[in-house]
Chain A
Amino acid sequence: DQQVKQNSPSLSVQEGRISILNCDYTNSMFDYFLWYKKYPAEGPTFLISISSIKDKNEDGRFTVFLNKSAKHLSLHIVPSQPGDSAVYFCAASAQNNDMRFGAGTRLTVKP
């Protein structure tokens, strides 16, 4: 039972444009959401998070939006840079329980 879904396995954008990565979840008890970034042959690293009491969290070029009614969150990267090319994982947890991860979206930013 996949509780966190990233339906787009890959995304390609031009440098300088906006990248939008999407994530859907099924468990209404999830109250904490994170995005991780993973380069090849490395472990995922934390990127940005959002609590369910918020609908937006911004950190530099990265913004995460949460739509609780739609059980949907998205990560916006603007402007996109070639160094952003990586696999992005969405993760969610309920009341500090163990996290569930999506399958990841491979972002390619073309120069």
Chain B
Amino acid sequence: EADIYQTPRYLVIGTGKKITLECSQTMGHDKMYWYQQDPGMELHLIHYSYGVNSTEKGDLSSESTVSRIRTEHFPLTLESARPSHTSQYLCASRDVSGYTFGSGTRLTVV
């Protein structure tokens, strides 16, 4: 039973489209993260939040934006998708014992 949910699981969209990747967790965790992962590459942190109305950019520069209006919800938005955005996007939340990841969204921009 997943405590962190990502939708959609798979998405194929055209260049220039605006998309929002959804992430919700039911554990009440304050800290949430978005990672981007290409095959064979490490997980790159692109955004994180330590609580409501708190968002920061991560290690990897990203053209996406995030918002944190509610504790349980941490959506990621691409205003104008490009083929270079094709990747897997993983959302996570954490407590003192570690991270819980969602199932990921595999995005393909054509």
- Show the binding face of A for B, using Cβ within 8 Å: 2, 4, 9, 34, 36, 41-46, 49, 89, 91, 96, 98-99, 101-104, 106
Report the minimum CB–CB distance from B2 to chain A (whole Å). Answer: 9
Secondary structure type dominating chain A contacts: loop
Choose, from B11-19, B42-50, B64-72, B77-85, the stretch at the interface. Answer: B42-50
Report the minimum CB–CB distance from A109 to chain B (whole Å). Answer: 19
- Show the binding face of B for A, using Cβ within 8 Å: 4, 6, 9, 31, 33, 35, 40-43, 45, 48, 90-92, 94, 96-104, 106
Q: Contact at A96–B96, with CB atoms within 8 Å?
A: yes
Q: A98-B33, A98-B48, A99-B99 are in contact. Are A44 and B40 (CB under 8 A)?
A: no
A-B Cβ contacts below 8 A, count = 53
Listed by A's residue number, 5 A-B pairs whose Cβ atoms lie within 8 Å are: A44-B99, A89-B43, A91-B99, A101-B42, A103-B42
Report the minimum CB–CB distance from B26 to chain A (whole Å). Answer: 15
Q: Contact at A46–B40, with CB atoms within 8 Å?
A: no
CB-defined contacts of B100 to chain A, threshold 8 Å: 46
- A42 and chain B: residue at smallest CB distance: B103
Q: Contact at B42–A102, with CB atoms within 8 Å?
A: yes
**With the chains together, A101 CA to B35 CA distance in Å?**
10
CB-defined contacts of A98 to chain B, threshold 8 Å: 31, 33, 45, 48
